[in-house]
Structure formats: C-alpha cells, structure tokens
C-alpha cells in the first residue's frame, strides 16, 4: 500500500515538474499549449462576418488552460478602423478586410477584456481577467517544426523581460 501511494506521488510530481518546465524562450518561462477546434472557430467567424442577426455576431471560444476554464465571448470590433479605411501599399490604395478584429471578454464576467484577431480559425490576442493577464499567439512563432498544438498561451507574470519598464 505504501509503495503504491509513493508511486502515485512520484508520478504526480513528475507530471507537475514537466508542466512547470514549459519554457517558451528566454523571456517567457512558462506557457501552456492550446489545441481547440480551429475549423469550428473559423466557421463561427465566417458566420459572424456575414450575419445581420445580433445574436450570431458573437463568436464563442471555450478552452482550458492555466488550470482554468475560459469561455470567451467575442464580437467583431468595427471601432478599430474608420469605415473608409484604405491600406496604402507601394501599388496604391487597397481595400482591407478588417472583419478579423474582435473584442469582448469572459462570458459571465463583465469586468474582463479580450481583444485580438481570428485568422484561419485561431484567436491571437489577450485576455485581461481578475485572475491575471493572458496572451495567446500562434505556436509557429516560437517553434520551428510542427507541434501537437496550434497556439500558446502565457501569463503576464510568466514574462521576464529585463527592460519591461521601457515598454509599459
């Protein structure tokens, strides 16, 4: 019996140590992988983009990370760009699709903020909540080869940037 309990504790310790050791780079000392259904999120984004129905203009994204359940409720943010926004390139002016920009928060928590973009079914941006500030980015920004997850999520407290005071 004691051997069995000890074995379970050792395994749990190894799992916790492996999880704590997910270092993203020299500045981000902990991250968690995200692997929600990108095809489903892309479909919901396309539906919200076309919809005139207020209820369908919202996109919901649910996942677990950092020991928490996240239920984002996002709506296209048309306030970021002016209605007549044009992208100036070396080839002249081009129309630019701004439908990928979203703002919102955690469902049921009105004092939270989420802002970012949905491109190819992935949300990239941030979530400010009572329990911390979270950042979500594409995994390929940090990894050379394919991973079993498409995005990474890390907390503000896990960033160790020596010149932080210059940025904020």
Give 8's pLDDT tier (boundaries 50, 70, 90). very low
Residue 3 confidence (pLDDT) above 60? no
**Reading across the β-sheet that carries 68-76, which strands appear in turn?**
32-34, 151-155, 132-138, 122-129, 113-119, 101-106, 68-76, 58-65
Q: What is the pLDDT of residue 168?
A: 52
What average pLDDT score do residues 61-65 get?
Answer: 97
Question: Which tens digit of pLDDT belongs to each residue from 28-54?
Answer: 999 999 999 999 999 999 998 887 666
What average pLDDT score do residues 55-73 get?
Answer: 92
| 22: CB partners within 8 A, 6+ apart | 30, 31, 32, 33
- The string over 14-42, giving b where at least 16 C-beta atoms fall within 10 Å of a residue's C-beta and e elsewhere, is eeeeeeeeeebeeebbbbbebebebeebe
Q: Which residue has the tokens 């929600």?
A: 36
Q: Is the pTM of this model over 0.85?
A: no
Question: Which tens digit of pLDDT belongs to each residue from 85-144?
Answer: 888 999 998 888 888 999 999 999 999 999 999 999 999 999 999 999 999 999 999 999
């Amino acid at each position: 019996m004691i051997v069995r309990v000890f074995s379970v504790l050792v395994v749990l310790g190894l799992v916790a140590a492996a999880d704590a050791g997910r270092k993203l780079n020299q500045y981000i000392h902990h991250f968690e992988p995200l692997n929600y259904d990108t095809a489903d999120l892309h479909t919901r984004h396309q539906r919200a983009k076309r919809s005139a129905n207020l209820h369908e203009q919202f996109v919901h994204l649910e996942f677990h990370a950092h020991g928490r359940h996240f239920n984002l409720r996002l709506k296209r943010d048309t306030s970021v760009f002016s209605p007549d926004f044009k992208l100036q390139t070396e080839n002249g002016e081009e129309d630019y699709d701004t439908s990928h920009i979203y703002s919102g928060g955690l469902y049921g928590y009105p004092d939270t903020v989420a802002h970012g973009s949905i491109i190819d079914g992935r949300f990239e941006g941030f979530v400010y909540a009572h329990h911390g500030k979270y950042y979500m980015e594409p995994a390929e920004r940090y990894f050379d080869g394919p991973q079993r997850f498409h995005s990474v999520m890390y907390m503000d407290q896990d960033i160790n940037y020596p010149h932080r005071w210059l940025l904020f």
